[in-house]
Structure 1
Amino acid sequence: MSINPNSVEARDVAYHMHSYTNARAHQENGPVVIDRGEGAYVYDTSGKKYFEAMSGLWSAGLGFGEERLVQAATAQMAKLPYYHNFNSKSHGPAVDLAEKLISIAPVPMSKVFYTNSGSEANDTVMKLLWYRSNALSQPERKKIISRQRGYHGVTIASASLTGLPNNHRSFDLPIANVLHTGSPHHYRDAQDGETEEEFASRRAEELEQMILDEGPDTIAAFIGEPVMGAGGVIVPPATYWEKIQAVLRKYDILLIADEVICGFGRTGQMFGSQTFGIEPDILVMSKQITSTYFPLSAFMMNERVFDPIADESNSIGVLGHGFTGAAHPVGAAIALENLKIIEERDLVTQANERGQYMQQKLRGLSDHPLVGEVRGVGMIAAVELVADKAAKTGGETPGALGAQANRMLEAKGVISRNMMDAMAFCPPLISSETDIDFMVSTLAKTLDEMHGSL
């Protein structure tokens, strides 16, 4: 690396192992070190400005530098910097946030359980469902059905629920009792001439056949993101969730909505479940719950889920599960202020309106020779790149087009993320139309340059 050996970049390479990174390539190329943030933009240590078109990791809904969140954290840190919720202990911010979340839930919910990340939340959900099945004297009902290309985290259990090969390879995953049914991606997975409704019916039929093959009494739950995020921003086809839920109700199988990305306005409503008519028994939240100014996650459960768990904890004498930092008072205080800002500024409505603007602008690229599909809803979208539009194929190496576009966009001041050859866009909810215009025009220039060099 041709960088100052005493610089932060060099020290990063020397001492820091990164998530979702090729470790050897990182040693060769070094990091981009982000130094500060302002609104929808971040700046690296050289002073270069970037539009953060991914909200960090789908998560900084209020952007970077929201002073009210800093003040909320500071005030709570001064009053009660830490406490837990073990052994019937509690504190005001955790109680207030639980009450607030239940009040805005898309369907009636009973209780909130706090964790520290989306991965921990989904891991805990899986563990509690096993606990619940035992409480109901249904020890065989332990299997969870997820979907190919779904993303639910990286702990051993949640990574097993995730349906992406690179989250399983060399990790000896998935574990037992995790099944994967087909992705809801019509563009990639539909048969020739199959309409969205026909495709949705086929996916529902495949789910039902999987349930019958495994035995309905062995299936505890089905988990899905309203819109798939890391799997490529996959928007479900028309009638998909309606048909999936009909199958689950038929066999008395619980539904888990993973709203880690979709929650708190991202799809143009407070929850993605509202956007797609989903009625979950468990709803998982993280990321935009604090705009990721503090690690916090939680899930809500209805009475049907809670009651057997509560009974079993009474029978055993304790619910033997929890995390030291869960229900953290600073995180809860930030989340409460974050939700207050979202409501005061009507950012959900703004996300719907600005999201329509963003979707329209991105769809204006649909005729570009390198664009196979533009998809999205609200303030989340993807542009899938292809070398051959008719065949829907990319370059010789899968993901090469996306990686090239990602590098070129970053060089031009837009941070995106390629998921193989799909470019993701998930800008902060506070982004302006001018910000969106810059993002889309930069993408258009990048695609033109890439096409000219092919």
Structure 2
Amino acid sequence: MSPRPNSLEARDIAAHLHPYTNQRKAEAEGSLMIDRGEGIYVFDTNGKRYIEGMAGLWSVAVGFNEPRLVDAAAKQMAKLPYYHTFTQKGHEPATLLAEKLLELAPVKMSKVHFTNSGSEANDTAMKMIWYRSNALGQPEKKKIIARIKGYHGVTIASASLTGLPNNHRSFDLPLPMVKHTLCPHYKAFANEGESEAEFVARLAKELEDLILAEGPETVAAFIGEPVMGAGGVIIPPEGYWAAIQAVLKKYDILLIADEVICGFGRTGNMFGSTTYGMEPDILVCSKQLTSSYMPMSAILVNDRVYQPLADESQKIGTFGHGFTAAGHPVAAAVALENLKIIEEKDLVGNVRALAPKFAARLAKLGQHELAFDARSVGLIGCLELKPQEGAVGARGAKLVGLLQEEGLISRAIGDTLALCPPLVITEGQIDELFDAFERALAKM
């Protein structure tokens, strides 16, 4: 059904080129217009309430109407609404936030560089690595290895790191200095009869073979999410990160942890790196940093990365990179208050307390005849459906629509339905979420 003429839905589609959208489908059907939020819920312009089962875009930790964040933004807006951090200038909110992130970091880090989104942060990390290699007199050491089904953003560089076909097709990507290795989805990609340990060993060997084929002297870094989010909530098998890091250390290759989704409590620790024993040289975070009330991201680098950058900036006169709104004082003030709320309300503890119930309800969905797999860690999980023959993604698209009818917003990643609710969710609301999911699945 096409949107009513002159309705807000019709006006939106007439004026707005939507991201991640089939534009012709949108023209025919209109948009779901969200009007307000309250805790884990959002309401459309007709007043219908939805459980926001994706926390927006994997990102709203503290709920959709936290007055402390509104107040923090208003106070900072009234005091210093904007200033930059270029050319040895700074301001208190960015300084305090940098200090706080270094305090929270899962491993010892040296410096924090602010950007505005996860895409910008990963793009910047790539530039930092190239700059560092030149500083070290290793101009050939520029390649970065990412993973099939990994997601790292949508700029030209970060979309190249992303390992999803629809982020490459028709954009002439990826860039040639980005290489992709295998995806650690055991149930989907294990060979027949292959144990988890054997699967992990094969992935580590494939990575090492790729490094040797490219030349270790040309490979600078490896990037990975602790849990792969937009690729389908892919949880690494036991021992995976230990095996990967052993290969990287053998060939002096930096590790970038993309914590854009996992950071600030999602997996049951402040960072996914802690959950999986990762020791990154560079850590990228965004989303739950401000609960997405303001655009902000941050790149944490250790001294191994920072010192060559500093030396090169002295040699040539500058670290010639930055964004107008990077370290924005209002965003930094909101981030500081958001992190206070996460700590004061022990939302990481809430994730740990609720994770068993979340996992049990998800496992029950996994017993459905259409289910291929159900998996979770902390408060992130998914139900992966068996694909319909000749129509991969059709079942996922149908089910996400049925979920929306039942008042639950999910995201279909092919035939995988993802769940990533706000960290403030309660035990009763988890039941409410999965009851709606079961009703929709029954309609399939």
TM-score (norm 2): 0.99
Q: Contact 1:34–1:42 at 8 Å: present in 2 too?
A: yes
Is 1:183 matched with 2:177?
no
Partner of 1:248: 248
Say if 2:152 and 2:162, in contact at 8 Å, map to a contact too. Answer: yes
Tell me, which stretches of 5 or more residues in structure 1 are unaligned?
A: 387-392
Q: 1:402 aligns with which of 396, 405, 426?
A: 396
Q: Which residue of 2 aligns with 1:133?
A: 133
Residue deviations 1:361-419 (CA, integer Å, cap 9, x gap): 11122221011100110010010011xxxxxx434310000000000000110000010
Of 400, 418, 432 in structure 1, the residue corresponding to residue 426 of structure 2 is 432
Give the AA of the match of 1:156: I
Aligned partners of 2:409 and 2:19: how far apart in 1?
17
Aligned to 1:389: none
- Aligned AA (1:405): L
Shift of residue 2 of structure 1? 4.8
SS at match of 1:146: strand
Q: 2:240 & 2:388 partners in 1: Cα distance?
A: 27
**Aligned ranges for residues 348-359 of structure 1 at < 5 Å?**
348-359=348-359
State the one-letter code of the partner of 2:422.
Answer: P
Following the alignment from structure 1 to structure 2, what is the Cα–Cα distance between the partners of residues 266 and 184? Answer: 19
- Mapping of residues 185-224 of structure 1, within 5 Å: 185-224=185-224
Distance 2:220 2:332 in 1: 30
CA distance in 1, matches of 2:166, 2:366: 29
In 1, the alpha carbon distance for the partners of 2:208 and 2:103 equals: 33
User: Is 2:435 the partner of 1:441?
Assistant: yes
Q: Secondary structure at the match of 2:365?
A: coil
Give the 5 Å matches for 1:326-365: 326-365=326-365
- Percent sequence identity is 61
| Counterpart position of 1:291 | 291
Amino acid in structure 1 at the alignment position of 2:82: Y
**8 A contact 2:2–2:30 mirrored in 1:** no
Q: Residue 118 in 1 paired to residue 118 in 2?
A: yes
Amino acid across the alignment from 1:304 = R
Distance 1:395 1:444 in 2: 23
Task: Within 5 Å, give how 1:86-101 maps onto structure 2.
Answer: 86-101=86-101
- How far 1:253 sits from its partner (Å)? 0.3
Residue pair 1:41, 1:52 contacting (<8 A) in 2 also: yes
**CA separation of 1:2/1:171 partners in 2, compared to 1, >3 Å: closer, same or farther?**
closer
| RMSD of Structure 2 on Structure 1 (CA) | 0.8
Structure 1's consecutive aligned runs of 4 or more residues displaced over 4 angstroms after TM superposition are none
Question: What is the rounded CA distance, in whole Å, between the counterparts of 1:315 and 1:224 in structure 2?
Answer: 32
What secondary structure does 1:430 align onto?
coil
CA displacement, residues 227-273 of structure 1 (integer Å, 9 cap, x when unaligned): 00000000000100000000000001000000000000000000000
- Matches of 1:371 and 1:210, distance apart in 2: 34
**How does 1:256-267 map onto structure 2 within 5 Å?**
256-267=256-267
Q: Which moved more, 1:363-372 or 1:251-260?
A: 363-372
Which whole-Å CA distance do the structure 2 matches of 1:117 and 1:217 have between them?
A: 31
CA deviation map 1:31-61 (0-9, x unaligned): 0000000000000000000000000000011
The alignment status of 1:419 with 2:408, answered yes or no, reads no
Flag structure 2 segments of 5+ consecutive residues without an equivalent.
Answer: none
d(CA) in 2 for partners of 1:144 and 1:92?
A: 35
Aligned residue pair count: 444
Distance in 2 of aligned mates of 1:438 and 1:346:
22
> CA contact under 8 A between 1:160 and 1:168: conserved in structure 2?
yes
Q: What amino acid is aligned across from residue 35 of structure 1 in structure 2?
A: D
AA aligned opposite 2:161: L
The aligned residue for residue 64 of structure 2 is: 64
8 Å Cα contact 2:186/2:237 also seen in 1: yes
Contact 1:370 1:447 in 2 (8 A): no
Structure 1 Cα separation of the partners of residues 107 and 232 of structure 2 = 27
Work out the CA distance in 1 between the residues paired with 2:49 and 2:389: 30
1-side partners of 2:429 and 2:414: how far apart?
25
Residue 232, structure 1, aligned to residue 226, structure 2: no
Contact map agreement 2:406 2:439 (CA 8 A) in 1:
no
Cα 1:412–1:395 change in 2 (3 A) is farther
SS at match of 1:220: strand
C-alpha separation between the residues in 2 aligned to 1:438 and 1:351?
Answer: 17
Q: Distance in 1 between matches of 2:367 and 2:2?
A: 41
Query: In 1, Cα distance between the equivalents of 2:351 and 2:134?
Result: 42
Partner letter of residue 112 of structure 1? V
What residue number does 1:41 align with?
A: 41
Q: Which residue pairs with 1:390 in the alignment?
A: none
**What code does the residue aligned with 2:359 have?**
Q
Q: Distance in 2 between matches of 1:322 and 1:161?
A: 20
What's the TM-score, normalizing by structure 1? Answer: 0.97
TM-aligned CA deviation for residue 4 of structure 1: 3.6
